[in-house]
């Protein structure tokens, strides 16, 4: 099953998963993508056999809200870190920030992951290497920013934002890089994930919710992808990779994704490609 949790600050995503598993009495579980300890918001947790579907959410675009501050930064690029640079006399105007964001941080970008991140370097996480003062090199990655809006707050040089990004985008790095374009240090002062794909944080419950009130969700409910169990005479054809049709299974639109249950251990994600219900395998799920 899936649980939609509103992660609290000062807790890691893994700790949140482990606490939920203990609460519901289940041993196996995973989540939809790491949130920094200081961040709050949407965490999709799958348990037992449903963990095989987590890639659908890990690969989805995500929306965040928060605040970024210019004039100071830390080693972690957020409020949890140690101050590494601070300058006086900074006076960032909203129109200047909007100009930088619209010109450089909407659409395709290249991004250097933060040194304090879960990015793997030769099997070790970057933040572990950073804490041990070990030398290592990070490489830029290509990301996509779908939408980025900024607004003034009551605090000088602090701005609120809402941004929708491709999977794996580091929001802390956006604050850092925007600051560099403005020629001042930048960092995040708050961060909240509000959406993963079609799943909104409005569905989320805090981990403190009583067990009897915790809601569960199915993969078909969250992804809006239908699931069918096909007849035995079609299973062999599908497992051999032969294109066939799903005669007798109606209600699918052309180009629609469908989960197809083959047996207890194998499912496939297929895409209907024409009116005769022939399909193309997108992914095998075990």
SS3 assignment, position 259: strand
Angle subtended at Cα 9 by Cα 8 and Cα 12, rounded to the nearest 5 degrees:
85
Distance between CA atoms of 193 and 110, rounded to whole angstroms?
Answer: 22
181 Cβ contact partners less than 8 Å away, ≥ 6 residues apart: 100, 104
Tokens of 50: 């449903």
Residue 214: count of CB within 10 angstroms of its CB: 17
Cβ–Cβ < 8 Å for 68, 159: yes
Distance between CA atoms of 19 and 12, rounded to whole angstroms?
Answer: 11
Catalytic residue of the set 36, 50, 78, 177: 36
**Nearest to residue 200, comparing CAs of 75, 59, 53, 62?**
62
- Cα 159 from chain centroid? 22
Angle in degrees, 0-180, between the axes of helices 171-182 and 94-104, rounded to the nearest 10: 110
Residue 36 appears among annotated catalytic residues: yes
For CA atoms 133, 135, 136, 138, the dihedral sign is positive
Residue 37 main-chain phi, psi, to 5 deg? -55, -40
Tokens of 193: 């994930």
Tokens of 163: 């941004």
What are the catalytic residues?
Answer: 36
């Amino acid at each position: 099953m899936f649980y939609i949790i509103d992660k609290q600050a000062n807790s890691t995503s893994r700790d949140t998963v482990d606490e939920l598993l203990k609460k519901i009495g289940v041993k196996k579980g995973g989540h939809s993508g790491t949130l920094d300890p200081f961040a709050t918001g949407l965490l999709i947790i799958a348990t037992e056999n449903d963990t095989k579907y987590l890639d659908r959410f890990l690969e989805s675009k995500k929306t965040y809200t928060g605040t970024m501050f210019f004039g100071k930064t830390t080693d972690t690029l957020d409020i949890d870190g140690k101050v590494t640079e601070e300058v006086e006399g900074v006076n960032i105007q909203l129109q200047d920030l909007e100009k930088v964001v619209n010109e450089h941080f909407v659409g395709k970008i290249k991004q250097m992951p933060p040194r304090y991140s879960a990015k793997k370097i030769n099997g070790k996480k970057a933040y572990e290497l950073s804490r041990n003062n070990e030398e290592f090199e990070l490489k830029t990655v290509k990301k996509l920013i779908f939408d980025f809006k900024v607004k003034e707050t009551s605090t000088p040089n602090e701005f609120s934002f809402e941004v929708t990004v491709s999977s794996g985008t580091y929001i802390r790095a956006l604050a850092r890089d925007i600051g560099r374009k403005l020629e001042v240090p930048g960092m995040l002062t708050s961060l909240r994930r509000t959406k993963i794909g079609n799943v909104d944080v409005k569905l989320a419950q805090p981990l403190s919710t009583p067990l009897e009130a915790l809601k569960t969700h199915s993969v078909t409910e969250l992804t809006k992808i239908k699931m069918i169990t096909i007849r035995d005479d079609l299973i062999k054809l599908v497992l051999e990779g032969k294109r066939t049709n799903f005669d007798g299974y109606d209600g699918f639109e052309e180009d629609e994704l469908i989960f197809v249950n083959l047996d207890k251990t194998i499912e496939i994600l297929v895409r209907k490609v024409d009116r005769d219900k022939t399909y193309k395998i997108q992914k095998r799920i075990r």
